[in-house]
Structure 1
């Protein structure tokens, strides 16, 4: 009898921009998978424009030293790291950052397979504008795609984006963005709605909540204008805009102009405090003019909230069914947003929230880890970049 020779673990290097609470659990799960040796390289130790509490998981990682050259931040040490480690697969989180480009060039020069983790889609506000940078990207991206053995994307819009530029459908693995569904659900159910309302001074019966950075691209001007329209006929509706950012003063001025007293700004809310906020809300609204995904949509749905968002939000495409568990509206359209809000709050929004909970059940970190591992094994098993074995996923 011949003993079976065990396969060597696959060495995986991930090059990612910054530590993120949205990916910590994912990296930990991937790193703990049997047959996977994971090491994550971060371009920066922590984000400069985020107030996140980062609780790094149990996986191997390091923050690379960096330099600023002509206003561009670069991590030249990625060349030595990849060359010395010679991983079996290099996963690169995007292609616009100079360090990511350097990582791709280094890996391909050494003959290492590259998996591109791409979050771009054609409905994003920057791509809709069709400026010089977008046109240049559309010319260069097909060339980059030919150098990649596989692709990781959050959802359907990103898959379409890559397919239109030459990526083979069977090389694209979907579902990288998730949240701890059960944890959010349980924590929201255990929270006290009245207590949260008292904390933020909310007096209205129906509460719509936004969570995110307070920047112009999030469509918050449209939300304030829609709130003004809705409030003229529905005085029992309140709006919570949770987050911090440079646009807060403008939003407050806009509320004063409209004479709104039912819009609340609790500031930045840490992740452990989000479930009580979702649990004290009735509808989640995310009117962004363009977002690669929007994990806050996952979180709100895990807490049984219907979602109103725009067709420029990646998560909306995969997770929100218009009229079933929320509404999809065009970006930059306060009238359409107001109409959607009115329609949802005057319907059975509790049932819509239950539908959200059912839809989000499968969008877990475990599923996301499956996608990453499947992409890794696909790239290792592929005989070359031009042709890959026919696998379904």
Structure 2
């Protein structure tokens, strides 16, 4: 089964998944080859393997192989590693996307195609796949809780018609699955394809005692309890709730690290300067490869977003065994946080409630938290997502 995933550009957390799948496919191929040689040596008939062989390619349709330009930050962002290595990919001409993708899928002869999001840059691709009788699935991260009544009304009318062209749907989490159910899409047409992260890498890097110690010394942190936020300082996810809660706690034994940049940084720093008796550290933008060390020195990670359909940083923090607190506007909290066990959820804007949850998280049982993290992440890691994709592909092609 040959699968293509069409996405605009590579990202720091998606590329390791592509690389993981490529390694898995290589291992599966070697295993099947060894099985074939064994059967041949024993005089047995070759086993039908056509449904056991998979291939996975990525087609980018909006990239020039330069560093990613983040429109919320208004600048290009480099991830610190090559986003185009370790997996099979093609780059389609974004000025003639339909014909460019047509050339690629005709040459590669795919059995199944997954489209990442319902965007204008993909216009015509679903129709193209249908014309070639290739099953096509849509991967989305839409949720209900960030929609106004007007938008809900419009989407409830328009999307059921627009989504009829897709054979299957991949939701990034349970909140997105609820959104699809709201559109009357049945569960058997929905699988999961989340924004997973490389848990093994994050855990190993965050456990590097020497580098974590060096970072702590560099930042001149003396407190044992460290609160961390990794966010864009823009209205959608700026950490005002965190600053307000930290001020309310008024505890000199706590350190708050704010990793990020954006239009609200100056205002946030001015607010922090008004409370100079508290230890608040602004790091600016931190390269992705260095983030695990920040998680490693932190006790609690907080994601106080106003509107976040998923929230990759929650997964990253749990991989590093942090306790996690998120607002109720962060989609991944519904799937990754077990209330009171590995973290908490608070109502967005209620910084007093957030302050209470910070205090509760400080005394959270570490052994129970780590055990819960491991159980939760097994359901949302690379292995599970690849299994979801393969299962959906086989099911669709057996119809």
Task: Identify which range, 292-301 or 137-146, moves more after superposition.
Answer: 137-146
Instruction: Give the superposition deviation at 1:176.
Output: 2.5
C-alpha distance 82-378 of structure 1, shift in aligned 2 (>3 A): farther
CA offsets per residue over residues 288-315 of structure 1, 9 Å max, x none?
Answer: 1121212211111111111101222121
1:41 to 46, 49, 59: 59
TM-score by length of 1: 0.84
Note if contact 2:207-2:296 (Cα within 8 Å) is conserved in structure 1: yes
1:157 to 175, 179, 182: 175
Q: Name the SS of the counterpart of 2:124 in structure 1.
A: helix
Instruction: Name 1:208's counterpart in structure 2.
Output: 227
Inter-partner Cα distance in structure 1 for 2:61 and 2:144:
26
C-alpha distance 139-78 of structure 1, shift in aligned 2 (>3 A): farther
1:227 to 246, 270, 274: 246
1:52 to 79, 89, 92: 79
Note if contact 1:282-1:350 (Cα within 8 Å) is conserved in structure 2: no
Instruction: Name 1:178's counterpart in structure 2.
Output: 196
Give runs of aligned pairs for residues 240-279 of structure 1, distance below 5 A: 240-259=257-276, 261-279=278-296
Give runs of aligned pairs for residues 38-187 of structure 1, distance below 5 A: 38-45=56-63, 46-49=67-70, 50-55=77-82, 56-67=84-95, 75-78=97-100, 80-81=102-103, 84-85=106-107, 87-95=110-118, 97-123=119-145, 125=146, 127=147, 129-132=148-151, 134-187=152-205
Q: Name the SS of the counterpart of 1:160 in structure 2.
A: helix
C-alpha RMSD of the superposition: 2.4
Task: Identify which range, 336-345 or 134-143, moves more after superposition.
Answer: 134-143
Q: Name the SS of the counterpart of 2:332 in structure 1.
A: helix
Instruction: Give the superposition deviation at 1:362.
Output: 4.3
Instruction: Give the superposition deviation at 1:279.
Output: 1.1
Note if contact 1:287-1:331 (Cα within 8 Å) is conserved in structure 2: yes
Note if contact 1:202-1:264 (Cα within 8 Å) is conserved in structure 2: no
Inter-partner Cα distance in structure 2 for 1:260 and 1:75:
55
Greater than 6 Å deviation, 4+ residue runs: none
Stretches of structure 2 that go unaligned for 5 or more consecutive residues are 30-52, 71-76
Instruction: Name 2:304's counterpart in structure 1.
Output: 287
Alignment of 1:326 with 2:343, yes or no, is yes
C-alpha distance 205-350 of structure 1, shift in aligned 2 (>3 A): farther
CA offsets per residue over residues 326-360 of structure 1, 9 Å max, x none?
Answer: 10111222222222112222444564345324432
Instruction: Give the superposition deviation at 1:259.
Output: 4.1
Q: Name the SS of the counterpart of 2:227 in structure 1.
A: strand
Note if contact 2:79-2:289 (Cα within 8 Å) is conserved in structure 1: no
Note if contact 2:246-2:355 (Cα within 8 Å) is conserved in structure 1: yes
Instruction: Give the superposition deviation at 1:270.
Output: 2.3
Note if contact 2:135-2:167 (Cα within 8 Å) is conserved in structure 1: yes
Alignment of 1:239 with 2:230, yes or no, is no
Note if contact 2:302-2:326 (Cα within 8 Å) is conserved in structure 1: yes
Note if contact 1:210-1:286 (Cα within 8 Å) is conserved in structure 2: yes
